[in-house]
Every structure is written in C-alpha cells, then in structure tokens.
Amino acid sequence: MIEQFGKIIVNYIAEIGEMVLLTVDIFRQMFKKPFEEKLILEQMVKIGVESIPVAVTTALFTGMVLALQAGYTLETKIQGVSQFIGSVVSISMVRELGPVLTAMVIAGRMGSSAAAEIGTMQVTEQIDALYTLAANPVKYLGVPRFLAFTFMLPLLTMFADLVGWVGGLVVCATRFTTSTVYIDSTLSSLNSSDILGGLIKATFFGAIIAIVACWQGFGTTNGAEGVGKATTNAVVFSFMLILISDYFLTSILTVLGF
C-alpha cells in the first residue's frame, strides 16, 4: 500500500514537473523570431469570437438564477432586503462566477479541442515532421494557443460579467424591485478593484487551460485511444487546477486589496 501511494506521489510530481518545463519552454519561445501573428489571430478567433455564444448563455442564466435565489432567500429572512440583490449579483459575477464559469466553459470547449488537435498531430507523427522542417512544435503550436487563451479569456469574462448582471437585472425588475434600485445597489457596492481582480483571475485561468491542453496533446500516445484519453484529461485537469488556483488567487488578491 505504501509503495502504491509512493508511486502516485511520484507520478504527480513528475506531471507537475512536465507542466513547469513546458511553461518555461513556451515563455522562452514566445520572444524568439519569427512571430506567428497569423496563427495567434486564428486561435484568438476560435477561442474568443466563436466561444461568445456559449459563454454569454452560461453567464446570462447564471445571473438570472443567482438573482432569483438571492431574492427569495433575502425576502424570506428579512422583508425588503431584496434591494441588495444588485450588490449580490454584481460582486458574485465579477469576482467569482464570471471568471470561474467562463474558464470552465472554455476549458470544456476549446481546451479539449486544443488537446485533441495537438494529440492527433503527435500520434500521426506530424510533430516529428515539424522537427524535420526545423520548426519548433512548442513555438508553432503552443505559443499561439497560450497567447490566445490568456488574452481572450479576460475579454470573454467581461462579456460574461455584463450579460450575467443584465440577467439579474431582468429577474430583479420583474419579480422583486425596480431596475433603478438594482442599478443603485450595484453602483454603491462594486468598484474597479473587484473588476480588476476578476480579470486577473481570468488571465491565470487562460494560461492554465493552455498549458494543460498543450501538455496533454504533446504527451499523447497509443493512437486514437490516446487522443481520447488526452482530451478527457485536459478537461479534468483544467477544471481541477482552475478551482484549486481560484482559492489561492483569491487569498493573494484579498491581501493585495483586490
């Protein structure tokens, strides 16, 4: 039993080491010429623009449900407290739900896609062909995805925050209080540090998704079965690391005043 536990610990440490080395390699290749502007823009379109409907839909109904639950809970305990629904929805969306849910949606949609694409290239020896052509696979495949994830996820998060807030506004105005009260409550409680803290989280989450997807893709083996396994692992590991890092980022940002 001790031996098996030790193997699990060693495997986890080895996996962490592989991700760290890949991250260092990505940063090293990022500043080397030539710069792949076309590939970066293509990935930004795929990750950002094409993911807007999914992210916006998720945020809209999250904000609506949050306003509905908060309104009923507050009114059940203390009559008239529903005037603070705007504060509850806006702060929750901007600081936690917006960045985390958007990151999870993008990890499920585009993180898995990136892992499957790179994994397929790995098992069909296209990665080896890049080496033959004197092209670094990390620079050609990893850097564009890393930059696209880290840049587009904060933008998607801003869209999600706004749409989630509007969803809460609709529910609040139709069931509990007026839109003016909702807006005033939001303005009185939300400040720029809350928004900036959420965007910082989103940037880190984007980097996590990109690194995990590339790590799983480059490490793919065993043909089609390996591609499926890498795709699943990319999503699972991304979810786990997003939630784990969210706690530590929240602790750090709170100490820094965000």
**Per-residue pLDDT tens over the stretch 209-243:** 999 999 998 888 888 888 888 899 999 999 999 99
Reading phi first (left if > 0) and then psi (alpha if -120 to 50, else beta), residue 135 is in beta
Q: Which two tokens stand for residue 106?
A: 């993008």
**What tens digit of pLDDT does each residue of 35-56 get?**
778 888 999 999 988 899 999 9
Matching residue, tokens 């750090």: 252
**What tens digit of pLDDT does each residue of 104-137 get?**
999 998 999 999 999 988 888 888 887 787 778 8
pLDDT of residue 144: 92
pLDDT at 77 over 70: no
pLDDT of residue 132: 81
pLDDT at 67 over 90: no
Q: What is the mean pLDDT of the chain?
A: 87
pLDDT of residue 76: 65
pLDDT of residue 79: 64
Matching residue, tokens 């793919």: 220
Q: Residue 170 CA to chain centroid, in angstroms? A: 26
Per-residue pLDDT averaged across 145-152, rounded? Answer: 93
Q: Residue 16 CA to chain centroid, in angstroms? A: 19
Confidence of residue 78 (pLDDT cuts 50, 70, 90): low
Q: State the pTM of this model.
A: 0.89
